[in-house]
Amino acid sequence: MKMSKAKLTKVLLGGVALAGMALAAPAASAKQPEYKFALITHAQPGDTFWDIIRKGAEAAAKKDHVKLIYEANPNAAGETQLINTMVQQHVDGIAVTLAFPDAEVPAVKQAEATKIPVVGLNAGMSDWKSAGMLMFVGQDETIAGKAVGDKLNAEGVQSAICVDQQQGAVQLQARCDGIKDTFKGKLTVLYVNGYNMASAQARMVASLQQNPDVGYIVTLGAPFAPTAVQAVQLANSKAKVGTFDMNPQAVGLIQSGKLQWAVDQQPFVQGYEAIDLLWLYKTNGDVVGGGGPVLTGPTFVTAQNVNEIAKFVKEGTR
């Protein structure tokens, strides 16, 4: 049967329209809803460690098509208030560091009572379950501390100093306690006033001069590693230096032999997974970890493997 030109044109246009609808439909249905998640930490001003956690969270938020709100406060009351504020703003999920569980747990439970899922990260390994959190991602700080204690024993160290920059933060206390658990020598915990490096250096120098037998000074944050190296020199001490966490300066010190090692808990992964876990729960009801934490560390970065990791540190993801 011969079809008129007008009829043929109409059939062709109809086919194009149907094809267009077929192509457009999957794209529309594949688009995920845009949630609003909050990431709340106890970051102290000047600690670049938290920049890496935030970068990881931002990468996950971009992939998952969610809006990310980042807030930080270094004290118990401040971080607790941030949780309450996010509950009042009706966010779709909260990822929070449980550094001050006594203060924060009631706020976490209030969030959960309003059907806001809460995931823990970085701090709160011993308390996230009792707080009712869905999941937790981070490093077991006690295990990390014990690994450091074992390393000190292997080097024959008899006396060491553990430098704590945030007294009362449970994850830092767990690190020093972990060292005590396995270290056979004498461990002194030295508290310093936050990120006031001049004050921290003066306290380290004084402690090293008072204890000339100290074989190691261990800092609980990478920004303190250069300060500890300088303190050893100023005190005319023979102590070696190790640190928890990494930054470009710590990597350079390891490469030059002035810093012996860094304990890496992979903060980028912590930030990334915390947001991604919330997204998985909201979109598919997934709960990851089998009732246990999703561990991101510890691993030791030493002169033997530092060059392999240095490029990632330079990019700000390790």
- Residue (of 170, 134, 144, 175) closest to 292 by Cα position: 134
Q: Which CATH number fits domain 36-139+266-287: 3.40.50.300, 3.40.1160.10, 3.40.50.2300, 3.40.50.11030?
A: 3.40.50.2300
pLDDT at 231: 98
Mean local confidence (pLDDT), 66-74: 97
Q: Using alpha carbons only, what angle is made at residue 35 by residues 77 and 78, rounded to the nearest 5 degrees?
A: 5
pLDDT at 21: 37
Q: Which CATH number fits domain 141-264: 3.40.50.2300, 3.30.300.130, 3.30.420.40, 3.50.50.60?
A: 3.40.50.2300
Cα–Cα distance between 186 and 163 in angstroms, integer? 14
Mean local confidence (pLDDT), 56-70: 97
Ranges for all domains in the chain classified under CATH 3.40.50.2300: 36-139+266-287, 141-264
What digits encode the pLDDT tens for the residues 220-239? 999 999 999 999 999 999 99
The answer, yes or no, to whether residue 60 has pLDDT greater than 90, is yes
CB within 8 A of 37, min separation 6: which ones?
61, 66, 67, 68, 69, 91, 92, 93, 94, 95, 275, 278, 279
pLDDT at 32: 56
The answer, yes or no, to whether residue 22 has pLDDT greater than 60, is no
Angle between helices 101-113 and 76-88 (to 10 degrees): 10
Query: Model's pTM, two decimal places?
Result: 0.82
Angle between helices 248-256 and 306-314 (to 10 degrees): 150
The answer, yes or no, to whether residue 15 has pLDDT greater than 70, is no
Angle between helices 225-234 and 248-256 (to 10 degrees): 40
pLDDT at 33: 61
Cα–Cα distance between 246 and 285 in angstroms, integer? 34
Q: How many CA atoms lie within 13 A of 14 on its CB side?
A: 6
What digits encode the pLDDT tens for the residues 238-274? 999 999 999 999 999 999 999 999 999 999 999 999 9
* Measured distance between the N- and C-terminal CA atoms of the chain, rounded to whole angstroms: 71
Collapsing DSSP to helix, strand or coil, 63 comes out as: helix
pLDDT at 214: 98
The answer, yes or no, to whether residue 3 has pLDDT greater than 60, is no
What digits encode the pLDDT tens for the residues 166-218? 888 888 999 999 999 999 999 999 999 888 999 999 999 999 999 999 999 99
Mean local confidence (pLDDT), 144-151: 98
What digits encode the pLDDT tens for the residues 164-179? 998 888 889 999 999 9
